[in-house]
Amino acid sequence: MAKKNVIEQTIEEKLNGLLELQQIDSSIDRIRINRGELPLEVEDLEAEVEGLGLRLSKVEDELKELETSINDRKNMIKDAKEAIKKYSEQQKNVRNNREFDSISKEIEFQGLEIELSEKKINESKAKIAHKEEVIVASREKLAERTNDLDLKRKELADISAETEKEEERLMKRSEKARATIEERLIVAYDRLRDNSKNGLAVVSVERDSCGGCFNKIPPQRQLDIAARKKLIVCEHCGRILVAPEEEA
């Protein structure tokens, strides 16, 4: 419809257009509510699985570093023992006490190196045992959460497959309906929807009350609403009011 015709619409035509748009958008809302929190649940699970994977990888790297450290310490012990053997042979051929004492200190130092390395090895083994427990628990949790993610993804895919075409059809209808409504009303309509938990911007009078906030509407105001001669909003919640369908 041309812009001129939109502007020249009667109040009743404007109300009908807004009501139709609300009904279409509410149908879209219901589809999305049926999908529920699944998209967010999938995103949260994806983030959790990624985080678990990164933490597991970090612990596995730390485990490898500890194993490398143990191998290095074992090599140091081997070198120290060979040094002790060499110094012990040299000690047999010393010419004075000073040389004997010097070699004795070297043998003692290598012995201390062996003790320190053995202590470090035992510490690393204890850490490895702990990290192996952490890895087993982390892998189990990762497998569990990955399985949960796969199930949620499938559930979301199934629901999306069922509703995708219907949602697309309704989105096109919504766009078409919007094109028949003047811009200032669309702006007000969108603002009301954004500020409403249930997405209702246009509501009918139900049992003498606003269909959005359920506050009572005076009889004279109800007559004005039913006449459809002007746009009337609820003085409590600001929603656009229309007469009940049987009165429309």
**How does DSSP assign 81-125, residue by residue?**
HHHHHHHHHHHTT-SSHHHHHHHHHHHHHHHHHHHHHHHHHHHHH
Place of tokens 């949960």: 148
**Structure tokens, 225:** 């609403």
Place of tokens 């949620």: 152
Using the predicted structure, report yes or no on whether residue 248 has a pLDDT greater than 50.
no
Among the ranges given (3-17, 24-38, 83-97, 99-113), the one the predictor scored with the smallest mean pLDDT: 3-17
pLDDT, residue 135, reads: 96
Report pTM.
Answer: 0.57
Which comes out higher in pLDDT, residue 4 or 30? 30
Domains in the chain, ordered, with CATH?
3-33+182-242 (1.10.287.1490), 36-172 (1.10.287.1490)
Q: Give the pLDDT band of residue 161 (cuts 50, 70, 90).
A: confident
| Cβ atoms of residues 142 and 52 within 8 Å | yes
Q: Give the pLDDT band of residue 7 (cuts 50, 70, 90).
A: low
Task: Read off the pLDDT of residues 91-126 as tens digits, 9 standing for 90 and up.
Answer: 988 889 999 999 999 999 999 999 999 999 999 999
Using the predicted structure, report yes or no on whether residue 5 has a pLDDT greater than 60.
no
Task: Read off the pLDDT of residues 122-136 as tens digits, 9 standing for 90 and up.
Answer: 999 999 999 999 999
Using the predicted structure, report yes or no on whether residue 203 has a pLDDT greater than 70.
yes
The percent of residues above 90 in pLDDT, for the chain, comes to 79
pLDDT, residue 33, reads: 84
Interior/surface letters 189-201, b for 16+ CB within 10 angstroms, e for the rest: beebbeebeebbb
Using the predicted structure, report yes or no on whether residue 4 has a pLDDT greater than 60.
no
- Burial class from Cβ neighbours inside 10 Å (0-12, 13-18, 19+) for residue 175 reads exposed
pLDDT, residue 2, reads: 42
Strands 240-242 and 232-233: antiparallel
**If you average pLDDT over residues 170-186, what whole number do you get?**
94
Using the predicted structure, report yes or no on whether residue 76 has a pLDDT greater than 80.
yes
**If you average pLDDT over residues 74-87, what whole number do you get?**
96
Average pLDDT in the chain? 91
The percent of residues above 70 in pLDDT, for the chain, comes to 96
Using the predicted structure, report yes or no on whether residue 247 has a pLDDT greater than 90.
no
Task: Read off the pLDDT of residues 228-246 as tens digits, 9 standing for 90 and up.
Answer: 999 999 999 999 999 986 4
| Cβ atoms of residues 109 and 150 within 8 Å | no
Angle at 7 between CA 234 and CA 168, to 5 degrees: 75
Q: Which residues contact 193 (CB under 8 A, 6 or more apart)?
A: 25, 199, 200, 201
